Structure 1
Amino acid sequence: MKIKLEILPHQTEALKAIDENFYGLDTLKNNPDADYIYANPLVKYRYQEKANIDIKMETGTGKTYVYTRMMYELHQKYGLFKFVIAVPNPSIKEGTRSFITSAYAKQHFSEFYENTRIQLNVINAGDFNGQSGRRNFPAQLSEFVESTRQNVNQIEVLLINAGMLHSKSMHRDDYDQTLLGGETSPIKAIAATRPIVIIDEPHRFSRGKRFYGDIKEMDPQLIVRFGATFPEITPGHGHNKVKKIDYYRGKPQFNLNAVDSFNQGLVKGIDIGYPDMPEDQANNLYRVKKLKPKELTLTKDNKDYSVTVGESLADIDEGFAGNITYDGGLDHELSNGLSLSKDMKLIPGTFSESYQDEIISEALDRHFVAEQENFMRSNTSINVPRIKTLSLFFIDSISSFRGDNKTKGWLAKNFEKILTQKLRKLIKKYEFTINDREKQYYEFLQATLQSLKSEHQDVYAGYFSEDRGNSDDDIQAEVDDILKNKEKLLSFKDSKGKWITRRFLFSKWTLREGWDNPNVFVIAKLRTSGSEISKIQEVGRGLRLPVDETGHRLSQEEWPSRLSFLIGYDEQNFAEKLVGEINTDSPVKLDQDELTEDMIKLIVKAKEKSNPQFNENQLLDDLDEHNVITRSNQFKQYVDIDGKKMSGYDALCYLYPELEQQTKVSKGKIRDKNSKDNTKVKLRKQNWQQLKNLWLQLAKRQMIQFDPSVNQNAETVARHVFNDSDNKIFVLQRPQIISQKINTDNNIASVRETQSDYNTEYLAMNYGKFLKILANKTDLSVNLINNLMIKAITRLGSNTNYINEKTLDNLVRTLNSRFNARIKTSYSYEPLDFAASTSIYNAKKQEFVNSVPASLLGIYQADSTSDKAYLYDRPPLRYDSADPELTILKRSYSPKISVFGKLPKQAIKIPRFDNGTTTPDFIFKIERDNKPIYLVIETKAENMRLGDEDIRVIQQKYFNHLKESGVYYRMATSAQEVHDLINKLESGELN
């Protein structure tokens, strides 16, 4: 499997912000350093803070992609070619290295920046260790420093972690060689290149602290920081201390905050759960009263209990199981690695093995629920690609997992026992299945159980900071697979067709490792995190949207994905804290006493998307007319609107729900699974029964029947693509080699390492395999492809080296893209003889369900409607856009409308010609002349997005076959348009 990178709109906006905030090059003439060939060109306002740029992007939204592409952009536009990427730790460094050097990233960026490549130089611990007692510079450092501008197609990048950057090796100046003909200190040699420095995770590089000091020693012309969290500064003294975020230029130059990330579906939603506890056990609670390097004092019921270093907490309470001792030190740690802080609460029962087993069992249950959904994907089309499901367990003790002397620890043994029980139960469920996809899953489960029982199981693995340098080959193989072989971990089978069963991963704590994977669907914390750290960062390892087995990243519209986050009882308010942290991240602070300038700008900007003429004056006039604000923009105490009495601030939110939509995370994005609120919306069955006859037809599965002309279209497209006159599709592919060259400049020897193509040898594929894969991925006949390939290769001088993986990828992508553009209207729907269940209808029982998840109806909520014709019982109203959706729901309709409401996602499942399904937004039942008419509406904003017209055509085609049943379909961009349609249908003006 190969991951396919796709640039997303928010990433494009981030790159645009960087471009707009980069001041360009300094054009001053007669500057003696201007032509220094080892260094970057001179940047305007270099070495000044006003040149620096901050890019705030939430965890999981593609920061690494953006800063990698930024380097290509700055190189292409300005000739900047020396960049330093500073990351907090070796694990994040490995993730960055893996991305930049991956084949899929190189292929992606080559499409935009032809012939340009990144030479990544990574500095690791041990690279400075010389032989025969000599102190030499690492080859990677020499390559970075001494490369010149003369290689115009190469970008030099130095990747280094904070600890390595701060090391003595980087700062000493007594090496037995020099760089740039004179520098003997690595940090000074880097400074001589006038680098552009990229800081990843800026909160770990606070200004005034030691690591930021190392950044400054590199003397960067420009610093660009990328992170979800930025350092805090605390100006003032005593009680007047007010925390502020430390941004360059006072604010981030691009801000994709947590609220936007969740509300726009750029990350997974989150379900939070924890094991409940008996009240008496939950109340058996100790608070950390005092912390000293050699003594810990806990308090309970006004009584103090103390232990010194090495003494067991079980001496205080037997519930502190596992012989946990106080290790003390400056971090005030327990022997299980938990760092204590003053006033922290400890529940002895949460330290027991049985309690951790309970969390493991619940995590595995949630894993297999997600895994079955992701493997089957039955709610979309037949043979849709599967999604590999991963789960991540954070533990406190490595020895509980690794054990001693190559024996498994108690945690690993317990995990295997619980997992084996659940596997056997699932295998029994699928034992006699006849469905092809379910048969595949049965085989996958069987392979998992077989591996689990083998001597060297491959189902679960661990990776820990302490593993670096471990001499155990098996442990090192585990770590490499997790940290370096991301594509393998996302695949179901290896090149030999053997199942890859590894999908359960163990690590220590949540913030120390830096690893991430898009297909983590479950995270279980088997102990509390300890101190008050960022809740967003804790869940961040699982927020990325998943990729399927073809490498395609799935949006929330294609496949709604949620992360299950399991925690301990002692963190039961985690969901509340997470929501609070996300809402605090909003750039606009809501003032319930006064309508601020920021609040005005936010509302106007949101309204302009659907009404470009909307402005501040209209907003203020409307609020004045409704008596919401005073002349000084203060909110009035009470306001009557639509017969309801509310505060001025509440009235503003009632009239302009966009305000809180932009500043608060939507309900349903983060759910506390232990909460009594199950976020379900109950159906008014008596109203849905009025749609029963129509739904018997809508429940029938539909097959897409392509026109006979489609085959001819396919051939026409194929002939045009294969006749690639610009040679952009048929390309040559060479293997690369790393060369090390010994230079003896100035009588000093040094090693220079370069990566280049072979001069004579090309990479080529087996022709039969090439044809088979191309036919399979494009649905073109092998004979047609063979004939076109013969002509193409003949045109290219009979050079069979053009038959390679790059050419194959180019052909697949171009053929499918152009073919889809030709067949958008060349098909019809043909009903099949069987019905299928949807989110709203049980086909087997031929009845509507009792309730649906609120998230299927919309991410926002508002006061419920009292209209008896509404399809749902339970308030509040759910919707995705204030205009036109909420306006449609809140309108009053005539008695002729017997039923109306919003349709949940996947309520009808109209198949798309390009795979997947779609469902319209609204349905109205109109009584006219004793014969019902059904108005089906798809709502879109006035400024329609790319693809909206395709959706209109798809839905229009689907509902054409229901015209005789009285179904009228329309895409509408406003509530008024819907209202006018209803009036015309009621009056008979439209038939």
Structure 2
Amino acid sequence: MKIKLETLQHQTDALTAIDKAFPGIDTTTNDPNANYIYANPLIRYRYNDKANIDIKMETGTGKTYVYTRMMYDLHQKYGLFKFVIAVPSPSIKEGTRSFITSDYAKQHFSEFYENTRVQLNVINAGDFSARSGRRNFPAQLSEFVEATRQNANQIEVLLVNQGMLHSKSMHRDDYDQTLLGGETSPIKAIAATRPVVIIDEPQRFPRGKKFYEDIEEMKPQLIVRFGATFPETTSGRGKNKITKIDYYRGEPQFNLDAVDSFNQGLVKGIDIDYPDMTEEQANNLYKVKQVKAKGLILTKGKKEYQLSVGENLADVDPGFEGNITYAGGTDRELSNGLALSKDMKLIPGTFAQNYQDEIISQALDCHFKAEEENFLRLNSGDNAPKIKTLSLFFIDSISSFRGENNGKGWLAQHFEKILTKKLKKLIERYELAIDDREKEYHSFLQATLKSLQSEHQDVYAGYFSEDRGSSDADIQAEVEDILSNKEKLLSFKDKDGNWLTRRFLFSKWTLREGWDNPNVFTIAKLRTSGSEISKIQEVGRGLRLPVDETGHRLNQDEWQSRLSFLIGYDERDFAQKLVGEINDDSPIKLNQEELTDDMIELIVQAKQKADPQFNEDQLLDDLDDHNVITRSNKFKANVELDGQTMSGYDALCQLYPELEQQTKVAKGRVRDKNSKDNTVVKLRKQNWQQLKNLWLQLAKRQMIKFDPSVNQDAETVARNVFNDSDNKIFVLQRPQMVHQEVVTDNSSASVRETQADYNTEYLTMKYGKFLKILAQQTDLSVNLLNNLMIKAIKRLRNNTNYINEKTLGNLIRTFNNQFNERIKTSYSYEPLKFSASTSIYNAKKHEFVDSVPASVLGVYQSNSTSDEKYLYDRPPLRYDSADPELKILQRSYGPKISVFGKLPKKAIKIPRFDNGTTTPDFIFKIEHGSKPIYLVIEAKAENMRLGDEEIRIIQQKYFDHLKESGVYYQMATSEQEVHDLINKLENGELN
């Protein structure tokens, strides 16, 4: 299989932005060295941030492609031919080298830049080694520095990682040869070429730090930084401390942020899973108070535990399985490779081998689910090309994988055992396959099992930094496949037609950045990464959209790709942090207090797409004419617009809807899921005043008075619940795997969660705690519950494993449901002597409020024009269901209806017998002779009927005492039902 690079729009947009931002060649210079044959032409504004360019592209969207093509572009247009690519690590360097030198990249770029080639020179550790007593320059450095402009079709590129760039070898000047006829220092020789420097992962090269100083020593005329994350700078102290992102020119010249990437389908969606724990297990955690080279201090509550190098964590807590000791040293690691840092939390249960086995097992389930879909392609048309499915495992210890003396570590052994079991089960499922593609998959699975059971398996592979010096041929083959043979990993068969079964990869964070493979569909972390790094960076190894067996990269329209990411319980907040990172990555922040420069620019750019002449002055003049802003661009509090009063910010959005539309695009249509709607809706006071007399009664508090039989009912229900003959309430509990799916839509990013049991060990809790919580949640006496529990456990053959959190939850839920069902009519409302304020009425001032938050009227909105009898001042109408609520609001009513409208949440706080309050949805005032009639409606959509009967009983009981005041209560499921009720009331047909 050959990968086919394709021109993608977002990458073309990035190249266009670079071309626009490029300062151009200095054609007016008097510099006598302008035509120096070993150096680039002189660039305008050279050696100045005014020339430098920042390109922000999210992980997985093709930064390497863009900067490689940029070099071709700058060479073709301006004759620039010497570029230095600076990367943070050897693994990123290897990924860049592999891409630039690949046949598929060369073939792709030759279509645009005929007869032009890139000569890539890579400097690695060891290249400066002295030979025969002489200290010489590496050949690749000499090649780069001394290449001239005379070879017009060749681009010279030097690729170096920051460690190599910072090394003594690059800066010393005592070599036994010279470059360019006089330079004896590599860094000065590079500077003489007036290079264009490309920085990959700029957050690793912050200005003012040592690695950026190395960049500056190369004296680049122009620096172009490519990254998803950029360095931050801080100024001030304490409350005055300001942190901002350090961009050249104050902002990136191209910005493809995380929200755009996720919502435009430029990267895979993400599912997150982790093994769940009981509350007791989760609370059994130890905090790292101090970590030094010679010792470690852990705390649990007020207790401290000191461990010296070599001491076992199991001495602190037996839950730390696996003979784990503190290794100390400069890396501050445990013996299993986990790097420790201050305030880090350690949960003993997550160190158990069977715990990691469960993550492996779940990861393989995710892998084969994706593999079946990708191989069979059932919903993608006949004979759709297959997609090779890969999985990546990040582990904490090379010895757990490689073992000792050419053996396999326990992790590799466990992985093989679990994989073998799953393979045999799958093979059995496809044993009798009839479909040709299913038969082919059966053959692939059989080849996988055969290889796994052979002496030199090629089903899974590992890559660790320690592998670079290994002489083991199998290990070197694994490393070569992972680092260099991307096409082989993506292929199903070799040139002889044999299945290529390698698709499970293991590493120890060495591949954390820089390396990626488009067909990674599962990533499993068998241990926390320790340090707090970007969550998008962590999932970044699997974000790229996949390629099929023909080398074609699929887009979201062709295949809905998702990445399964499995983590430990100690990182269970990963999904929320990831969502937070996505949502925070927005180019501007809307300000509802004042019109900011960013908001102005956003509106102007959007308007110019339709009207190129539109400018900032027109916008500000228009807003001034409508009295929306002050002279200092602050929004005015009350603005009259189209006969309605609203805030200045709302007026801006109504005049220029492009702001919200463009904000959603700029933010990738992902907002913080906890963000609140700050829009307010003003009341039409003249309409509400017609309800004043009724509201004086509704404002009076009501108390629930239960019948005397309720206490006996509680005991009867409790005895029935504990007599669980079917064992549906008393259940055994095993650990659970929590599945979280990161979901993005047009307005928000959120996490959707499901759970499933695993493992054979039962989870229990302490009886005293069990009983205490049960008593608190049911209001039953401890003595009664204790007696009932003793009888229940005896019936269950004294198996105390039934005393667990699931059983507790079942008992509480079942009792409360049955008790509430029994007493739902065994009470009445008793009026109290005082009134209380609600969302619509101020009891102290005896008047209605001026406005309410739009969110309390409904989660949806319609721009339908509202009736003059409506209770609120302006559209849009707010509602919770299109049918019947929106239809009720949009329907025309006869002249006898004087006012009507939707009631906000908590407008009438009706106490519920099962705690909380409820409020009906609508109120109508109907003129009927000398005494008006009020119709109160609880509107329910047909698909929202759960609990309707309880709500009807509660509200009916509450309004019964207001019948003499002309109040009628009904529940309705359609606007026709409401219309018929009004007609009957108008005609006196209802009592």
Name the TM-score class by shorter chain.
Answer: 0.5 to 0.7
Instruction: Write out per-residue CA displacement over residues 202-246 of structure 1, whole angstroms, 9 at most, x where no aligned residue.
Output: 111112222212111111111111111111222223453322211
TM-score with structure 2 length normalisation? 0.65
Q: What CA distance in whole angstroms lies between the structure 1 residues aligned with 2:201 and 2:742?
A: 36
Q: Give 1:441's aligned residue.
A: 441
* Greater CA drift, 177-186 or 389-398: 177-186
Q: Give 1:530's aligned residue.
A: 530
CA displacement at 1:467 relative to structure 2: 1.3
Q: Which structure 2 residues correspond to residues 248-647 of structure 1 after superposition, within 5 A?
A: 248-509=248-509, 512=512, 514-602=514-602, 605=605
In structure 1, the residue corresponding to 2:564 is in which secondary structure? Answer: strand
Instruction: Write out per-residue CA displacement over residues 30-66 of structure 1, whole angstroms, 9 at most, x where no aligned residue.
Output: 4220121111111112112211111111111111111
Q: What CA distance in whole angstroms lies between the structure 2 residues aligned with 1:890 and 1:600?
A: 35
Q: What CA distance in whole angstroms lies between the structure 2 residues aligned with 1:318 and 1:640?
A: 71
Taking structure 1 as reference, are residues 285 and 371 closer, same or farther at Cα in structure 2, changes over 3 Å only? same
Residue identity matched to 1:405: N
Instruction: Write out per-residue CA displacement over residues 394-440 of structure 1, whole angstroms, 9 at most, x where no aligned residue.
Output: 00101000100110000000011111111111111111111111111
Instruction: Write out per-residue CA displacement over residues 14-42 of structure 1, whole angstroms, 9 at most, x where no aligned residue.
Output: 11111111111122354220121111111
In structure 1, the residue corresponding to 2:159 is in which secondary structure? Answer: strand
* Greater CA drift, 532-541 or 587-596: 587-596
Taking structure 1 as reference, are residues 146 and 660 closer, same or farther at Cα in structure 2, changes over 3 Å only? closer
Instruction: Write out per-residue CA displacement over residues 582-620 of structure 1, whole angstroms, 9 at most, x where no aligned residue.
Output: 222211123354453423543565577689899889999
Q: Give 1:986's aligned residue.
A: none
* Greater CA drift, 370-379 or 287-296: 287-296
* Greater CA drift, 232-241 or 383-392: 232-241
CA displacement at 1:637 relative to structure 2: 8.6
Residue identity matched to 1:119: Q
Q: Give 2:39's aligned residue.
A: 39
Taking structure 1 as reference, are residues 171 and 665 closer, same or farther at Cα in structure 2, changes over 3 Å only? same
Q: What CA distance in whole angstroms lies between the structure 2 residues aligned with 1:510 and 1:640?
A: 61
Q: Is the 8 A contact 2:451 2:457 kept in 1?
A: yes
Identity %: 75
Taking structure 1 as reference, are residues 417 and 660 closer, same or farther at Cα in structure 2, changes over 3 Å only? farther
Q: Give 1:211's aligned residue.
A: 211
CA displacement at 1:660 relative to structure 2: 5.2
Q: Give 1:14's aligned residue.
A: 14
Q: What CA distance in whole angstroms lies between the structure 2 residues aligned with 1:412 and 1:293?
A: 30
Instruction: Write out per-residue CA displacement over residues 567-588 of structure 1, whole angstroms, 9 at most, x where no aligned residue.
Output: 1111111111111112222111
CA displacement at 1:457 relative to structure 2: 0.6
Q: Give 2:753's aligned residue.
A: none
Instruction: Write out per-residue CA displacement over residues 438-460 of structure 1, whole angstroms, 9 at most, x where no aligned residue.
Output: 11111111111111110111100
Taking structure 1 as reference, are residues 138 and 366 closer, same or farther at Cα in structure 2, changes over 3 Å only? same
Residue identity matched to 1:658: Q
Taking structure 1 as reference, are residues 680 and 136 closer, same or farther at Cα in structure 2, changes over 3 Å only? closer
* Greater CA drift, 544-553 or 510-519: 510-519
Residue identity matched to 1:661: K
Residue identity matched to 1:531: S
Q: Give 1:958's aligned residue.
A: none
In structure 1, the residue corresponding to 2:378 is in which secondary structure? Answer: coil
**RMSD of aligned C-alpha atoms?**
3.6
Residue identity matched to 1:501: T
CA displacement at 1:679 relative to structure 2: 7.2
Q: Give 1:160's aligned residue.
A: 160
Residue identity matched to 2:320: F
Q: What CA distance in whole angstroms lies between the structure 2 residues aligned with 1:648 and 1:101?
A: 57
Q: Give 1:63's aligned residue.
A: 63
In structure 2, the residue corresponding to 1:234 is in which secondary structure? Answer: strand
CA displacement at 1:482 relative to structure 2: 0.9
Q: What CA distance in whole angstroms lies between the structure 2 residues aligned with 1:430 and 1:43?
A: 64
Taking structure 1 as reference, are residues 25 and 628 closer, same or farther at Cα in structure 2, changes over 3 Å only? closer
* Greater CA drift, 616-625 or 657-666: 616-625
Taking structure 1 as reference, are residues 582 and 677 closer, same or farther at Cα in structure 2, changes over 3 Å only? closer
Instruction: Write out per-residue CA displacement over residues 903-936 of structure 1, whole angstroms, 9 at most, x where no aligned residue.
Output: xxxxxxxxxxxxxxxxxxxxxxxxxxxxxxxxxx
CA displacement at 1:334 relative to structure 2: 2.0
Taking structure 1 as reference, are residues 609 and 491 closer, same or farther at Cα in structure 2, changes over 3 Å only? farther
- Structure 1: runs of 5 or more not aligned: 682-861, 868-885, 896-991
Q: What CA distance in whole angstroms lies between the structure 1 residues aligned with 2:383 and 2:472?
A: 41
Q: What CA distance in whole angstroms lies between the structure 1 residues aligned with 2:15 and 2:570?
A: 42
Q: Is the 8 A contact 1:3 1:550 kept in 2?
A: yes
CA displacement at 1:305 relative to structure 2: 1.8
Residue identity matched to 2:308: T
In structure 1, the residue corresponding to 2:121 is in which secondary structure? Answer: strand
Q: Is the 8 A contact 1:510 1:538 kept in 2?
A: no
Q: Give 1:658's aligned residue.
A: 661
In structure 1, the residue corresponding to 2:357 is in which secondary structure? Answer: helix
Q: What CA distance in whole angstroms lies between the structure 1 residues aligned with 2:582 and 2:4?
A: 30
Q: What CA distance in whole angstroms lies between the structure 2 residues aligned with 1:351 and 1:673?
A: 16
CA displacement at 1:657 relative to structure 2: 5.0
Aligned length: 695
Q: Give 2:49's aligned residue.
A: 49
Q: Which structure 2 residues correspond to residues 641-790 of structure 1 after superposition, within 5 A?
A: 658=661, 661-664=664-667, 666=669, 674=738
Q: Give 2:145's aligned residue.
A: 145
* Greater CA drift, 482-491 or 291-300: 291-300
Residue identity matched to 1:57: M
In structure 2, the residue corresponding to 1:468 is in which secondary structure? Answer: helix
1:201 counterpart = 2:181? no
Residue identity matched to 2:454: S
Taking structure 1 as reference, are residues 309 and 488 closer, same or farther at Cα in structure 2, changes over 3 Å only? same
CA displacement at 1:678 relative to structure 2: 10
Q: What CA distance in whole angstroms lies between the structure 1 residues aligned with 2:324 and 2:652?
A: 54
Taking structure 1 as reference, are residues 604 and 578 closer, same or farther at Cα in structure 2, changes over 3 Å only? farther
Instruction: Write out per-residue CA displacement over residues 46-92 of structure 1, whole angstroms, 9 at most, x where no aligned residue.
Output: 11221111111111111111111111111111111111111111111
Taking structure 1 as reference, are residues 627 and 464 closer, same or farther at Cα in structure 2, changes over 3 Å only? farther
Residue identity matched to 2:149: R
Q: What CA distance in whole angstroms lies between the structure 2 residues aligned with 1:637 and 1:359?
A: 55
Q: What CA distance in whole angstroms lies between the structure 2 residues aligned with 1:604 and 1:675?
A: 43
Q: Give 1:803's aligned residue.
A: none
CA displacement at 1:658 relative to structure 2: 2.4
- Structure 2: runs of 5 or more not aligned: 675-735, 746-857, 864-881, 892-991
Q: Is the 8 A contact 2:518 2:546 kept in 1?
A: yes
CA displacement at 1:345 relative to structure 2: 1.6
In structure 1, the residue corresponding to 2:523 is in which secondary structure? Answer: strand
Q: Is the 8 A contact 1:307 1:326 kept in 2?
A: yes
CA displacement at 1:514 relative to structure 2: 3.0
Q: Is the 8 A contact 1:56 1:252 kept in 2?
A: yes
CA displacement at 1:8 relative to structure 2: 1.1
Taking structure 1 as reference, are residues 490 and 652 closer, same or farther at Cα in structure 2, changes over 3 Å only? farther
Q: What CA distance in whole angstroms lies between the structure 2 residues aligned with 1:539 and 1:285?
A: 26
CA displacement at 1:505 relative to structure 2: 0.3
In structure 1, the residue corresponding to 2:275 is in which secondary structure? Answer: coil
Q: Is the 8 A contact 2:332 2:339 kept in 1?
A: yes
1:176 counterpart = 2:176? yes
Q: Is the 8 A contact 2:512 2:537 kept in 1?
A: no
1:185 counterpart = 2:182? no
Residue identity matched to 1:524: A
Q: Is the 8 A contact 1:269 1:670 kept in 2?
A: no
TM-score with structure 1 length normalisation? 0.65
Q: What CA distance in whole angstroms lies between the structure 2 residues aligned with 1:268 and 1:626?
A: 45
Q: Give 2:682's aligned residue.
A: none
Q: What CA distance in whole angstroms lies between the structure 1 residues aligned with 2:886 and 2:326?
A: 61
Instruction: Write out per-residue CA displacement over residues 114-137 of structure 1, whole angstroms, 9 at most, x where no aligned residue.
Output: 111111111111222243222121
Residue identity matched to 1:178: T
Q: What CA distance in whole angstroms lies between the structure 1 residues aligned with 2:393 and 2:474?
A: 20
Bigger CA radius of gyration: 2
1:227 counterpart = 2:227? yes
Residue identity matched to 2:96: T
In structure 2, the residue corresponding to 1:249 is in which secondary structure? Answer: helix
Q: Is the 8 A contact 1:234 1:242 kept in 2?
A: yes
Q: Is the 8 A contact 2:579 2:742 kept in 1?
A: no
Taking structure 1 as reference, are residues 432 and 326 closer, same or farther at Cα in structure 2, changes over 3 Å only? same
